[in-house]
Amino acid sequence: MTGKVTIAGLGPGADAFITPSVAEAVSHATDVIGYIPYVKRITPRDGLTLHASDNRVERERAAHALDLAADGKQVVVVSSGDPGVFAMAAAIFEVLEENLDKWGHIDIEVLPGITAMLAAAARAGAPLGHDFCTINLSDNLKPWKVIEKRLRLAAEADFAMAFYNPRSKSRPEGFEKALILLKSICGDNRPVIFARAVSTSEETLRTVPLQDTSADMADMRTVVIVGSSQTRTINTKAGAWVYTPRTYG
């Protein structure tokens, strides 16, 4: 039997946001590999082996998946959101490139998923309706000076911005520095959306003017969306909506 690695995104949290193509891949898998909370979302069944591992072992997880596929297994590597956005797809290809002689024959497929960023934007309205960028604020794999440069240039270019991994117990100071930088450059009270655990029972959504934001409003389960200078808020009888017009200026 020819093995295969399918890299799949499980969406932001709710089963309703798992795409049919991902659900089908999981239903035919012999092995599912991923970070512990994501593997817990997979229903056990006969013929399926679940391989859950801790965070920060992405390379080991990738090598395990490729080894299983080389042995003829149908492997699904699961990520939350989309696997190509700060997730396992890049890790698989990083490891593959270093070992093409060993694994270059393996069939690989990447199945997209709904990102936390897009789920959060949809809940809020359309804050990413014009040009935007996405920045991972974790400095685990890149130095803070790179993050700081990208933040500054994105703010000066007047992008709307979506931030992943804004703040954790081990990195409490990074998001605070990011907010200080944004406040000094933007100089206005554009809306900032704090979307936590979107599509789950723990979901919260909060919109705060930039100058009133503080670092403790976010954690690792929060996606932060900062509007551009054009982003607007509409207050209706049904609630408030945040959107960025398609026409600039």
User: Tens of pLDDT along 34-51?
Assistant: 999 999 999 999 999 999
Nearest to 58 by CA among 31, 92, 26, 22: 92
- Specify whether the CB–CB gap between 215 and 179 falls below 8 A: yes
Which pTM value belongs to this model?
0.94
What would the CATH number be for the domain defined by 117-243?
3.30.950.10
4-114 and 117-243 share one CATH topology?
no
Q: What is d(CA 221, CA 231) in angstroms, rounded to the nearest whole number?
A: 24
Where do the structural domains in the chain lie, given as residue ranges?
4-114, 117-243
Q: What is d(CA 198, CA 161) in angstroms, rounded to the nearest whole number?
A: 18
Helix (H) or strand (E) holding 91, with range, is: helix 88-98
Amino acid, res. 59 = R
Q: What confidence tens digit (pLDDT) does each residue in 70-100 have?
A: 999 999 999 999 999 999 999 999 999 999 9
What CATH number matches the domain at 4-114, 3.40.1010.10, 3.20.20.10, 3.30.70.890, 3.40.47.10?
3.40.1010.10
Residue-wise over 151-163: b if at least 16 C-beta within 10 A, else e?
beebbeebbbbbb
pLDDT greater than 80 at residue 123: yes
Q: What is d(CA 33, CA 7) in angstroms, rounded to the nearest whole number?
A: 10
DSSP 43: P
Tokens for 161? 């911005």
Q: What confidence tens digit (pLDDT) does each residue in 129-182 have?
A: 999 999 999 998 999 999 999 999 999 999 999 999 998 877 778 999 999 999
- Specify whether the CB–CB gap between 132 and 163 falls below 8 A: no
